[in-house]
Structure 1
Amino acid sequence: MANEKYGKISFDEASIQNSPSTIKNFIVSDKSVNVQEHHLDLHYPHIVEGITFAICTKGNSRIKINLQEYEVTANTLISIIPGYIIELISESDDLSIEFLFFTFDFIADLKLTMDIDIPEKMGQMPCLKITEEETQSLLEFHSFIVKQYRKTDHLYREKIAKSLLYTLICEVMQLYHNSKLVENPRTKSRQEELITQFVELLFKYHKQERSVTFYADKMFLTPKYLSKVIKDVTGKPILQWIDEMVIMAAKALLKTSNMTILQISEELHFANASFFGSFFRKRVGMTPIQYRES
């Protein structure tokens, strides 16, 4: 599928119906959103350019995430990370959700630690069925974030919002920690299997390997074929997938560690600090030091 067939859910798009008081890189719904009344038409594929946690509070729908179809009902937690492709297949008239939408930059300086299997669980279960009690707990966090978010004249508004978001993320990670992987009864297509396998390998090896050949060899494919599948299905070139994962790792190290630029370049297996700096500046628009100090 060609890239032009995908819409984008970016902060520019998501901010259209939000006030100028929106915190940079962080948007939160201040009331349940009726999907049918929202300005974004999600009935065709959209690439999500931020991290999203959404809670279905009412109604039901069928949604595709990275080509996999899921059922969403009340008390469903939806977790989306950058690069995911979503498409709304069908929905009830009363479908309502609460959501938080933020960039990796917004949480880069938070020292998040998680079990190694949590990213895998989020990838395999982006729509997680939770109990009504767990839903209410998350909604209470969400409500408190909204309350603080509205205090536009508060000097420490952004810091408070970020701290509360950190707490909510920890709660979400705990829910995934407690969950058990369940195989989807629908058989995945060959392309779906390849995308899943590639993303899992990318999470595991992105700090050491940036060549298409490495991932293709791991999957017993030719680099040309793997590149074509990734581009056709996601609309993004495979090198962009790899680069974005490396940049996220670099940003996290810059914001949450005391490692020098040289040490970070070595951690990410760059030839030297200069090459790492050029790689980072080309993709982020600032040097690693400028990003660390921003």
Structure 2
Amino acid sequence: MSDKKINFPILDICTLSETRDEDFLVSRFGAYLERHKNLHHAHRHSFYHLVFFTQGAGFHTVDFSNFDVKPYQIYFMIPGQVHSWSFEGPIDGYVVNFSEEFFQSFLLKAEYLANFSFFNNIAQDSVINLSFPLNQKVKGFFEEILEQAQQKQPFAHDMIKSLLIQMFIAIDQQTITEKPKNIPQFNYTLLKNFQKLIEKHHTTLKLPMEYAELLYITPNHLNALCKEHLGMQAGEVIRNRIVLEAKRLLVNKNTSISEIAYYLNFADNSYFSKFFKKHVGASPEEFRKKI
């Protein structure tokens, strides 16, 4: 990962929590909105963020993809993603925020959460409409989590973690049932590792051959895997992640285009602008104005 730094506004949990708990927050969503009315603007978090709607309409945006708000819809966000919302009429449900460290002492697998399909950094996979009876089961999980948080009994945080994991598994099992993966396990593991490497190195490694070397496979093998199972070549997967990071950084108007180009390791501002316009259809300045 590049050691270049960009300073942009990121919300942390203690900014949003009345209890100043730096690792966890749970609230009914209507009350959360009342306390934080300015959160409709595009922003990014330093924590995991999930919202389960039980009432409401309008839309919300995750990493620049728009989704209609519906009752019994849940969305999941990982640290670094950008989102905003615009609601119509009464809105309610539940919100849970937790830090990257929240589960570390509880789970032996440091990257356990990355196994869930909705924590894969792809906006389209992170918004799920829950059908009956799962939506009622998930609602029950949130009620239990609220109760545990309010009572503050011994082991309350461990109980909350247990309830969250049970909920994640129940939702992911529905997602897997609805979207069967006809892909051999070895190929699936390779693609997951490729995506993890892109997350780690997209500011410094731009070529498929560099990732293929880290995966101990040939560039042709990597391209064939991506084309068969993702519908695009490896180079496009890498470029899409670079474009997404550029869009996220453009949300902060205090960061200059040249600073973003430098952070993403482009040779100069002009080359970055040409790259961005080619893949987005608008210059960085035009895209920023639209936001």
Report the TM-score when normalising by structure 1: 0.59
Q: 2:195 aligns with which of 197, 203, 207?
A: 203
Residue 215 in 1 paired to residue 212 in 2?
no
CA distance in 2, matches of 1:107, 1:240: 30
- Number of the residue aligned with 1:235: 249
Q: Quote how far apart the aligned CAs of 1:28 are.
A: 0.8
Structure 2 CA distance for partners of 1:117 and 1:142, relative to 1, 3 Å: closer
Q: 1:105 aligns with which of 101, 106, 119?
A: 101
Q: 1:51 aligns with which of 37, 40, 48?
A: 48
Which residues of structure 2 form unaligned runs of 5+?
1-5, 181-190, 210-233, 251-259, 265-291
- Number of the residue aligned with 2:130: 130
Q: Quote how far apart the aligned CAs of 1:212 are.
A: 3.9
| Alignment check: 8 A CA contact 1:230 1:238 kept | no
Q: Quote how far apart the aligned CAs of 1:138 are.
A: 0.7
CA distance in 1, matches of 2:245, 2:123: 19
CA distance in 2, matches of 1:117, 1:128: 11
CA distance in 1, matches of 2:116, 2:161: 23
The alignment partner of 2:89 has SS state of: coil
How many corresponding residue pairs?
Answer: 211
| Alignment check: 8 A CA contact 1:35 1:95 kept | no
Residue 141 in 1 paired to residue 135 in 2?
no
CA RMSD, 1 decimal: 3.8
Q: Quote how far apart the aligned CAs of 1:204 are.
A: 3.8
- Number of the residue aligned with 2:13: 11
User: Equivalences for 1:169-188 in 2 at 5 Å?
Assistant: 169-180=168-179
CA distance in 2, matches of 1:49, 1:173: 23
Q: Which amino acid aligns with 1:55?
A: F
Q: 1:62 aligns with which of 59, 62, 73?
A: 59
Q: Quote how far apart the aligned CAs of 1:39 are.
A: 1.6
Residue 75 in 1 paired to residue 72 in 2?
yes
Q: Which amino acid aligns with 2:26?
A: V
Deviation sequence 1:87-110 (CA, Å, 0-9, x none): 11x211201120111012111242
The alignment partner of 2:15 has SS state of: helix
What percent of counterpart residues are identical?
16
Structure 2 CA distance for partners of 1:75 and 1:238, relative to 1, 3 Å: farther
Structure 2 CA distance for partners of 1:176 and 1:121, relative to 1, 3 Å: farther
User: Equivalences for 1:18-33 in 2 at 5 Å?
Assistant: 18-19=18-19, 22=21, 24-29=22-27, 31-33=28-30
Deviation sequence 1:118-140 (CA, Å, 0-9, x none): 65596423221111422211110
Q: Quote how far apart the aligned CAs of 1:160 are.
A: 2.1
Report the TM-score when normalising by structure 2: 0.59
Structure 2 CA distance for partners of 1:149 and 1:213, relative to 1, 3 Å: closer
- Number of the residue aligned with 1:189: none
